[in-house]
């Protein structure tokens, strides 16, 4: 029974999180309570906790994580400068005359918002407030409208510069080095956040293409459920004003990373400054709004780093109770080897996505299973993209998908929750198809990073 204490600790954390306790304090508090009990009973070595100050200092001094507050600031400023409204208006005029054109507009705007904010909740709420009323007024099926908004909102998980990929890249980098050292490789290869950004481009674009294809096919089969809006002419000046500035900012941020001219951390600084200049140029930024944007950024950043510190405490105690060896032995005993182990991890992450946010899963689960899978020969970039797609799918899956709750919070009472649940099912199938494509053709995730490195 003693060897399973680490698993009991993990289950206790999940239970407390489901009861609504704060994530960071739940992770650290549960771990310290189990550690205290283990020290008193003589089954836990307190020397494990001596490594905690070093872990925290390493977190504070990690230059990669500087990208987190800067990308968040970039997204918050763009959100407050009403970029989304102008984008949606311009796209709606461009595609509104087509059947399903408004849905296509929502997907394209959601893609651009995902590439500029990188935060799922912000994109779902913004698109729910801006596009859901106009889609319903145009005569769109409520389930189609709700499903489209939820699905496009989750693109922030996979399309760079995604906050999820920044955090995941940092964790996988440490896990990859740990895995190689365990195999007595003392000149380990590295994997970076930039590698994950580049690897996510093709799967992200595949998802966008499949979403648009689904909307167009749906509109062709059921024209009454996705009618054309009134066609409006759009001038080149309107396109330039609404589309070009945010698109140029995204291209500069991602282009500097792809070209190797800037690290993701440096690119995040460029993005934050560019978003601020764009907001000032549009006349949508003054000192009160800037203060609000900075405070919002600080709140989200503090939440992320407190969870990171709580997860560091949890992982130390988990290892102290022998949890890592227990899981490693379980994986090696599975029939089917690395394929079975990877499938089990994907299933566990998918199920945990119902009750935990991507930050908790990234900080708690990935450091435990990542080194084991990487030591078994799994490619780190491929694993990172698969985990990101998996978490994106769990965001959509009823009854606990976070994107569903975000949309429910801003949707009118006339839109039933059942319509939201029905609407996301086709998009979940699309997500699973995309995951299957990356599973069977790993080069979709690994080919572009390898090509650019060479």
- Of the ranges 123-127, 192-196, 266-270, which one carries the lowest mean pLDDT score? 123-127
Cβ proximity of 380 and 172 under 8 Å: yes
Other CB atoms within 10 A of residue 283 CB: 9
Residue 185 has pLDDT above 80, yes or no: no
User: Residue 340 domain-assigned?
Assistant: yes
The chain-wide mean pLDDT, for the chain, equals 83
Supply the range of the domain harboring residue 325.
62-285+321-453
Tokens read off for 20: 């609504």
Q: Model confidence at 363, in pLDDT bands (50, 70, 90)?
A: confident
Residue 242 has pLDDT above 80, yes or no: no
Domain count, the chain: 1
User: Residue 315 domain-assigned?
Assistant: no
> What stretch of H or E contains 352?
helix 337-352
The reported pLDDT for the residue numbered 1 is 63
- Which own/partner pairs from 241-247 qualify as long-range (CB within 8 Å, at least 24 positions apart)? 241/86, 241/90, 242/86, 242/87, 242/89, 242/90, 243/87, 243/90, 243/91, 245/83, 245/278, 245/281, 245/282, 246/78, 246/83, 246/87, 246/112, 246/116, 246/278, 247/112
Other CB atoms within 10 A of residue 223 CB: 12
User: Residue 78 domain-assigned?
Assistant: yes
Cβ proximity of 171 and 363 under 8 Å: yes
> d(Cα 86, Cα 89) in Å, to the nearest integer?
5
User: Residue 300 domain-assigned?
Assistant: no
Tokens read off for 169: 């890249």
Range among 141-145, 260-264, 326-330 with highest mean pLDDT value:
141-145
User: Residue 209 domain-assigned?
Assistant: yes
Tokens read off for 420: 């939201």
Q: Model confidence at 441, in pLDDT bands (50, 70, 90)?
A: very high
- Of the ranges 46-50, 209-213, 241-245, which one carries the lowest mean pLDDT score? 241-245
Residue 120 has pLDDT above 70, yes or no: no
User: Residue 39 domain-assigned?
Assistant: no
The reported pLDDT for the residue numbered 426 is 93
For residue 307, which of 354, 365, 265 has the smallest C-alpha distance? 365
Residue 119 has pLDDT above 70, yes or no: no
Mean pLDDT, rounded, for 380-402: 85
For residue 392, which of 346, 447, 326, 448 has the smallest C-alpha distance? 346
> What stretch of H or E contains 276?
helix 264-281
Q: Model confidence at 402, in pLDDT bands (50, 70, 90)?
A: confident
The reported pLDDT for the residue numbered 182 is 73
User: Residue 303 domain-assigned?
Assistant: no
The better pLDDT of the pair 386, 153 is held by 386
| Tens digit of each residue's pLDDT (9 = 90 or more) over 37-95 | 888 888 888 887 888 888 777 777 777 778 888 888 887 887 777 776 777 777 777 77
Residue 296 has pLDDT above 80, yes or no: yes
First CA to last CA distance, the chain: 51
The number of angstroms, rounded, from the C-alpha of 99 to the middle of its chain's C-alpha atoms is 31
User: Residue 294 domain-assigned?
Assistant: no
The reported pLDDT for the residue numbered 389 is 92
The reported pLDDT for the residue numbered 436 is 94
């Amino acid at each position: 029974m003693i060897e399973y204490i680490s698993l009991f600790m993990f289950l206790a954390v999940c239970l407390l999180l489901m009861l609504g306790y704060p994530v960071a304090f739940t992770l650290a508090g549960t771990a310290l309570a189990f550690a205290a009990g283990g020290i008193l009973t003589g089954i836990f070595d307190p020397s494990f906790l001596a490594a905690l100050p070093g872990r925290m200092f390493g977190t504070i001094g990690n230059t990669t994580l500087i990208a987190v507050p800067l990308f968040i600031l970039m997204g918050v400023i763009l959100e407050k400068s009403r970029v989304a409204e102008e984008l949606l208006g311009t796209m709606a005029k461009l595609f509104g005359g087509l059947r399903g054109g408004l849905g296509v507009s929502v997907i394209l705007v959601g893609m651009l918002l995902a590439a500029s904010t990188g935060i799922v909740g912000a994109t779902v709420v913004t698109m729910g407030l801006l596009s859901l009323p106009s889609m319903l007024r145009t005569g769109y099926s409520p389930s189609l409208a709700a499903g489209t908004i939820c699905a496009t909102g989750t693109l922030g998980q996979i399309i760079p510069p995604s906050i999820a990929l920044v955090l995941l890249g940092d964790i996988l980098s440490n896990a990859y080095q740990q895995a190689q050292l365990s195999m007595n490789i003392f000149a380990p290869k590295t994997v970076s956040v930039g590698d994950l950004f580049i690897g996510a481009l093709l799967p992200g674009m595949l998802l966008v293409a499949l979403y648009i294809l689904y909307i167009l096919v749906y509109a062709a089969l059921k024209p009454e459920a996705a009618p054309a809006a009134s066609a409006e002419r759009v001038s080149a000046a309107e396109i330039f004003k609404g589309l070009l500035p945010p698109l140029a900012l995204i291209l500069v941020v991602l282009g500097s990373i792809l070209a190797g001219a800037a690290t993701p951390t440096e690119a995040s600084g460029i993005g934050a400054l560019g978003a601020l200049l764009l907001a000032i140029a549009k006349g949508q930024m003054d000192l009160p709004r800037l203060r609000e944007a900075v405070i919002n950024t600080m709140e989200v950043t503090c939440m992320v780093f407190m969870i990171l510190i709580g997860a560091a405490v949890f992982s130390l105690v988990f290892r102290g109770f022998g949890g890592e060896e227990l899981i490693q032995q379980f994986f090696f005993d599975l029939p089917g080897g690395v394929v079975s182990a990877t499938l089990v991890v994907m299933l566990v992450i998918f199920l945990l996505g119902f009750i935990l946010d991507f930050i908790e899963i990234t900080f708690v689960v990935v450091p435990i299973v990542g080194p084991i899978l990487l030591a078994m020969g799994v490619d780190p970039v491929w694993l990172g993209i698969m985990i990101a797609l998996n978490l994106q799918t769990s965001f959509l899956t009823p009854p606990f998908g976070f994107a569903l709750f975000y949309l429910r919070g801003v949707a009118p009472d006339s839109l039933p929750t059942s319509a939201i649940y029905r609407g996301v099912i086709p998009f979940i199938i699309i997500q699973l198809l995309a995951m299957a494509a990356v599973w069977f053709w790993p080069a979709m995730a690994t080919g572009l990073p390898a090509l650019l490195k060479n």
